[in-house]
Amino acid sequence: MIELLVNEQLVELSEDFQILINKSIADIRNPENRSSDWSKTITIPGTSVNNKLFGHLFEVGDSITGTSFNPNKKANCTVLLDGMEQMRGFIRLTQINVLDNDDIEYQATIHGESANLFTDIENAKLSDLDFSEYNHILNIQNVKDSWDSQIYVNGSTQAFEYGVGYVWSQILPKRISKNTNVDQWKTDDHTPCLYAKTIVDKIFSVNGYQYSTDSFFITDRLSG
């Protein structure tokens, strides 16, 4: 289902309303390089809800009061598909058509960018991400717990799960042989590691994105 928000208000759309955001093969193969500039001309029915939103305009140049929409200024808009953001930008009224029985419809252009994770994180660094929810005391018990028992999240314990949170690992230079006797391991022999999935989940969440339930990001290959 397609939804259109103008100034954070839901617009009523016709049942056959469609917005196609085309992606070329090049976009799919190299999503980090794709251009996300986008524009589309749309028609919005003159329902009571929409007329109230647009201030009961009958001419594009009219002045209106009592609404956040100003036809002489750009208005923020967002396009959602099944609840997930596809595009954000601005909308501009270009024409108002008077139909039979004094009904009207609005013609408008939407300008913006397709929702693009690669654009949003273009200049971001991993060091910008906050993983402080996993802070805990460094001791040998917490190290061992992270392998297959529990971890700390926001100061409380949480059951161990592959791909979630952290694990203490022995990452040593090849020139140093690893002591295989667990009883002789020290805390200094270990390095805290975040799961790749935990990092990916953080990148998506802080930028307002989600991935589908059939995504690569929930496979054992990423979680393990």
Burial class (CB in 10 A: 0-12, 13-18, 19+), 223: middle
Give the closest residue to 165 by CA, choosing from 192, 144, 183. 192
Q: What region, left, alpha or beta, does residue 63 occupy, with left being phi > 0 and alpha being psi -120 to 50 degrees?
A: beta
Give the C-alpha separation, 54 to 65, whole Å.
Answer: 10
For residue 212, what are the domain limits?
126-223
Number of structural domains found in the chain: 2
The confidence score (pLDDT) of residue 25 equals: 44
Same domain, yes or no: 35 and 15: yes
Same domain, yes or no: 96 and 138: no
The confidence score (pLDDT) of residue 141 equals: 94
The confidence score (pLDDT) of residue 11 equals: 93
Q: What is the pLDDT along the chain (224 residues), one digit of tens a residue?
A: 889 999 889 999 988 888 765 544 445 455 555 555 667 889 999 999 998 888 777 655 554 444 557 766 778 888 888 888 878 888 888 888 888 767 889 998 888 766 567 767 878 899 999 999 999 999 999 999 999 999 999 999 999 999 999 999 987 666 566 777 777 888 888 999 999 999 999 998 998 888 877 778 787 777 76
Same domain, yes or no: 155 and 95: no
The confidence score (pLDDT) of residue 94 equals: 85
- Neighbouring CB atoms inside 10 A of 60's CB total 15
Same domain, yes or no: 147 and 189: yes
Residue 194, H or E segment: strand 191-194
Same domain, yes or no: 20 and 108: yes
The model's pLDDT over 96-120, given as tens digits with 9 standing for 90+, comes to 888 876 788 999 888 876 656 776 7
Q: Report if pTM > 0.75.
A: no
Same domain, yes or no: 33 and 99: yes
The confidence score (pLDDT) of residue 76 equals: 87
